[in-house]
Amino acid sequence: MSAIFRAAAVAYLPRDLHPVAWWVWAIGMAAYASFTTNPLLLLLVVGVVSVVVAARRGEQPWAKAFRLYVGLAVFIVVTRVLFRVLLGAVPGHVLLDLPEVPLPEWVLGIRLLGPLTREALLAGLYDGLRLGVIVTCVGAANALANPKRLLRSLPPALYEIGTAVVVAVTVLPQLAESVQRVRAAQRLRAGATGKVKRLRRFLVPVLEDALERSMALAAGMDTRGYGRTAGVPVATRRITSVLMLVSLVGLCAGVYAVLDGTTPGWLAVTMLSLGVGTAAGGLALAGRRVTRTVYRPDRWRWPEAVVATSGIVVVAVGWWVARDQVPVAFPGVSTVPPVTLSAMLGVLVGLVPAVAAPPPASSLVHEEAVA
């Protein structure tokens, strides 16, 4: 028993959680948001995600990009509402009688401005809020997961694709770090006081710094042999191609069978199992062409399992609410959105990482040393 408690204590020491666990949790929260348009549940998802980020965010540069994603989410909501104001034609209680802009006869079904109804405004708010919450969940994953460790945790067969994806999702964190460094440098020296000149003095160094960091990243990856492939026999390449083709056919047929209610259930399970199995075999064979080593690989301990499981539970509850509690998941715009205890508890499960995940590494120096 003492050895078990000692291992549990070691796993809970300050360290960076496995990035895959954070992404599984964040995808679970985003999937729950995609299953509903209830503004109360969506705001609860935002609250849960914000609490976890505040509790387990480290001091790394990418951890400071969460507010940028929140700002992007607010912009999405405002834009969606403005589009409803411009193009909304939902009948209901009129809040503001705007003048309608006449359009040609060939533009049928489209109206510019006109009476603004409460139903149109709420419909735009609900739709925009759902997309904004999904963006916020992605921002939480970027703020919590180490992109370098996420890259080296990917299977070898997906290494080239994973490199592009990791670089793409770290654009905002890099811009956030560039903004902070440029602001700190400009505070130390005087300059132009006009708004236009001050904006130019701010934007140009930020873009230049981001470009230089991208070029340095590309040069470092090339120096370390990223993308280097090994020789694979012709027979192995052919088998890999056949397995990947069979997996695509199996997955497409299995997904169609799941969505089509008239298809037998055994056929859906069989085709999905065939697709997943052949995809795993194809990825294993394709991974032989990529030669790379991993220094101090991240281990999957019990905190990672708890964090990932919480995200999976949130997805399951969201899917169940969307199927069995339709008025709660998709409320109308003419009444107050209803909320059930089960739907709220499903979101609150996402708070588990705030307690189960170990505290992050305390310093950037320690982070760079173990990366």
The torsion defined by the Cα of 135, 175, 22 and 350, in degrees rounded to 10, comes to: -40
Asked whether residue 191 falls in the same domain as residue 137, the answer is: no
b or e along 112-124 (b: 16 or more beta carbons within 10 Å of the residue's beta carbon)?
eebbbbebbbbbb
Instruction: For residues 123 and 178, state if they share a domain.
Output: no
Please report the pLDDT score of residue 239 as a whole number.
75
Query: Can you tell me the distance from the alpha carbon of 21 to that of 11, in angstroms, rounded to the nearest whole number?
Result: 14
Residues in the chain: 371
- Report how far residue 262's alpha carbon sits from residue 264's, in angstroms, rounded to the nearest whole number: 7
> Which residues span the domain enclosing 76?
1-147+298-371
Domain boundary residue among 239, 265, 289?
Answer: 289
Per-residue pLDDT of the chain (371 residues; tens, 9 = 90+): 555 555 555 555 677 788 888 889 999 999 999 889 899 999 999 999 999 998 888 777 667 778 888 888 999 999 988 887 777 666 667 767 766 667 666 666 666 776 777 777 888 888 889 999 999 998 888 888 877 676 666 665 566 666 666 666 666 666 666 777 777 777 766 655 555 556 666 777 777 776 676 666 666 665 666 555 556 666 766 777 777 777 778 778 877 776 666 767 677 778 878 877 887 777 666 656 655 555 566 677 888 889 999 999 999 999 899 888 888 888 887 788 889 999 999 999 999 998 888 887 754 444 444 44
Q: For the chain, what is the domain count? A: 3
What single-letter amino acid sits at 66? F
In order, the DSSP letters of 62-110 are GGGGHHHHHHHHHHHHHHHHHHHHHH----S-EEEEEEEEP--TTSTT-
pLDDT at 8: 54
Residues 95 and 25 in one domain: yes
Name 94's bridge partners: 117
The structure tokens 């965010």 sit at 57
pLDDT of residue 28: 92
Contacts of 2-11 with CB under 8 Å at 24 or more apart are: 8/302, 11/301, 11/302, 11/303, 11/358
pLDDT at position 363 = 42
Same domain for 21 and 160, yes or no, is no
Residues 7 and 134 placed together within one structural domain of the fold: yes
Same-domain check for residues 122 and 169: no
Q: 222 and 235 share a domain?
A: no
Site of tokens 């708070």: 351
Dist CA 69 CA 49 (whole Å): 12
Q: Say whether both 358 and 265 belong to one domain.
A: no
Q: What is the pLDDT of residue 309?
A: 93
- In contact, 153 and 20? CB cutoff 8 Å: yes
- DSSP summary character for residue 229: B
Burial class (CB in 10 A: 0-12, 13-18, 19+), 190: exposed
Residues 245 and 168 in one domain: no
| Domain limit, last residue, from 229, 263, 281 | 229
Q: Phi/psi at 96 (nearest 5 deg)?
A: -150, 125
- Same domain assignment for residues 188 and 108: no
Of the residues 229, 251, 269, which one is the last residue of a structural domain?
A: 229
**pTM value surpassing 0.85:** no
Amino acid occupying residue 371: A
Q: Which amino acid is at 121?
A: L
Q: Are both 97 and 170 inside the same structural domain?
A: no
Question: Distance (Å, rounded) from C-alpha 297 to C-alpha 18?
Answer: 10
State the pLDDT at residue 164. 64
Closest to 305 (Cα-Cα) out of 347, 345, 346, 358: 358
pLDDT at res. 283: 67
CA distance 360 to 265: 45
Cα(74)–Cα(66) distance, integer angstroms = 13
User: What is the phi/psi pair of residue 170, to 5°?
Assistant: -100, 15
> Same domain, yes or no, for 136 and 158?
no
Q: Is 31 helix (H, G, I), strand (E, B) or coil?
A: helix
Q: Which SS3 state, helix, strand or coil, does residue 290 take?
A: strand
Burial environment of residue 357 by CB neighbours within 10 A (0 to 12, 13 to 18, 19 or more): buried
- Give, in order, the Cα–Cα distances in Å from 15 to each of 131, 138, 144, 290, 366: 32, 21, 12, 29, 10
